[in-house]
Chain A
């Protein structure tokens, strides 16, 4: 009697024999040279941007394992923040704590741009209506691997940004950390995987980043934001650290969405299937655990920042918001949330814990096609 699945194994082996052997040596070397030329062109283009005094940040190729400034003198255009406080005469009853929202623009393009949106100048109405000011913080060049666009993350304290510059593998590369207040980007660790929904995860205290390595051993670990030192962790220890950083554990599968506390306690499940039947992840859970945000399903390792639905864990139903269909949400520690809405790229809404709108922020056209990355409380 055959072992389980032996027939499938046999069928696959038979089918695989249909491929004709070919000599790939010359084609491989040609592709390798093309990849090398693309990388050189990218570096040159960014160097020009740097010399021109723009906001771009050029990253010169440095020795693997090297740490420290990558391009001496690289400058980030960081401007003084406008006042974060609403107008002094703003109604005190509105539970509105303006913060800062970070956006990524052109995540799949040759130039990935990271923006900060400062919120201010609110009028006296209820809900508040506020203007905002975008500031481009970084321009990161990327090749077709989309590594930087898929991995770029802002730290919870809004002080640092990190991303992976793809290497020849196209799926991993050098981890770069940069201070958003200025200073040179630092290339701190090679062979860091850039795919997936959580390629880089900042610790809650912004002191370190949890990463996965493409080093043949599949190691996982943590890189210190200041020291740049990589410490290998056991998978379980790493899983625990990532859950603590995210503030929850969550899974979507087999028709269920399940969330637990970061330590795995208090599991709660509701029925949920991605609208398109694709793999999806839980991208956020409210501070009190009542709401969970299901990410958009994906059939590949690309990151999905937006949400397909916000679900009420007490009823199992999709939450209906007065402002429209929420397509991005940042849950706040006080139970409030910041959301964007499908079809309204020029608006950002602050909602209180009862889902009432406390502020409506006008987002400039510059960020019309950008995606929110993180909200940092004011």
Chain B
């Protein structure tokens, strides 16, 4: 039974890590911090694996833990300590590869200018494609907070990185 649980946890880590790392990278903006974040969330999942395995909620649990750990107080200053706060030099938009790379760098830097909560809301809403209600549930806040944080995050993106305007030109549509 123990071997079976261990094997299933190993399989869970192997299959879900790539997806979790992608979201964690958007939340932290850094490969190593993303690994730390996912590792922390998975370790907590492991501590409760027997119950989670029975309930079938392991992935939802891991994601929720990951978002809370990132937004929560004991990690909140880590990104600011490690990552540069300056935006890369702005370049003219273009469809070429260099232009796309510059936009990506701009987006990464702009995300890091947001608060942890604002970044989490954007990732949940526009990367994980969660509804406002689902995002609120994951973060443990009200739908109103998700709406206000989304609006603030988009407004801040517009202010600090106007070159990204084509990435966030339209208003978000509540679902």
Contacts and interface: CB of A to CB of B under 8 A. Distances in A.
5 contacts: A13-B127, A24-B35, A28-B46, A146-B74, A299-B76
B107 A9 contact: no
B73 A300 contact: yes
Contacts of B44: 32, 35, 168-170
A14 B108 CA distance: 11
B167 to A, nearest CB: 5
B87 interface: no
B116 A12 contact: no
A23 B39 CA distance: 10
Interface string A1-21: 001110111111111111111
A31 B36 CA distance: 10
Nearest to B18: A21
Given A4-B171, A11-B164, 7 more contacts: A11-B167, A12-B123, A13-B127, A16-B26, A31-B40, A168-B46, A196-B140
Interface in B56-100: 57, 60-61, 64-65, 68-69, 71-74, 76, 100
A278 B116 CA distance: 11
A22 B72 contact: no
**Chain A interface: which size bin?**
35 or more
Interface of A is mostly: loop
Contact of B31 (A17, A19, A145, A278): A19
Given A28-B39, A302-B72, A170 B140 contact: no
Contacts of B18: 21
Given A12-B123, A16-B25, A22 B35 contact: yes
Contacts of A171: 64-65, 68-69, 72, 140
B104 A16 contact: no
Given A25-B14, A168-B47, A4 B167 contact: no
A218 B134 CA distance: 9
A354 to B, nearest CB: 35
A300 B73 CA distance: 6
Interface string A149-177: 01000000000000000011111000000
B141 interface: yes
A11 B117 contact: no
